[in-house]
Amino acid sequence: MPTLRKHSRKRDAIIACIRETKAHPSAETVYSRLRAEFPKLSLGTVYRNIALLREEGEIVSVGFVGGEERFDGVTSDHPHFVCDCCGAVIDVELSGPPRGFEDEINRNYGFEVSHRKLIYFGKCTDCIEH
């Protein structure tokens, strides 16, 4: 494990790729999109940097969809919708934020809650129509 971090153009491109889209891409998707710009990019490099960015808190995991882990460049707590049909991962905005309950859980169970995930599942508009 390196003690010092060096700058890397590939890592910049990977985090930019994850931040620029709302699609919550997988490692494979990031790899596919960046191959145009970096023809000899390695999939291992994408996985390695995703792990680094996650350790640094630059990205978070939304969860696994169809066997692939999906990532989000927006790290603030917000819910997602996952289409069981096509695998789309979509941000949802609710009229009011769902109550936290973190303090209640810490008090009642003696845990230290650090974050949470709220995911709704079902069929997206496209999959309902087709």
Partner DNA sequence: CTCTATAACGATAATAATTATCGTTGTTGA
Partner DNA sequence: TCAACAACGATAATTATTATCGTTATAGAG
Contact call for residue 68 and DNA (CB under 7 A): yes
Residue 23 sits in the site that holds a copy of itself (CB under 8 A):
no
Task: Give the integer Cα–Cα distance in Å for 22 and 97.
Answer: 20
The structure tokens listed for 60 are 């978070």
What does the DSSP 8-state code read for residue 36? T
CA distance 129 to 114: 39
The answer to whether residue 57 forms part of the interface with a copy of itself (CB under 8 A) is no
- How many residues form the binding site for a copy of itself (CB under 8 A)? 35
Query: Which CB sits closer to DNA, 68 or 102?
Result: 68
Work out what residue 45 binds among a copy of itself, DNA, none; the CB cut-off runs from 5 to 8 Å by kind.
Answer: DNA
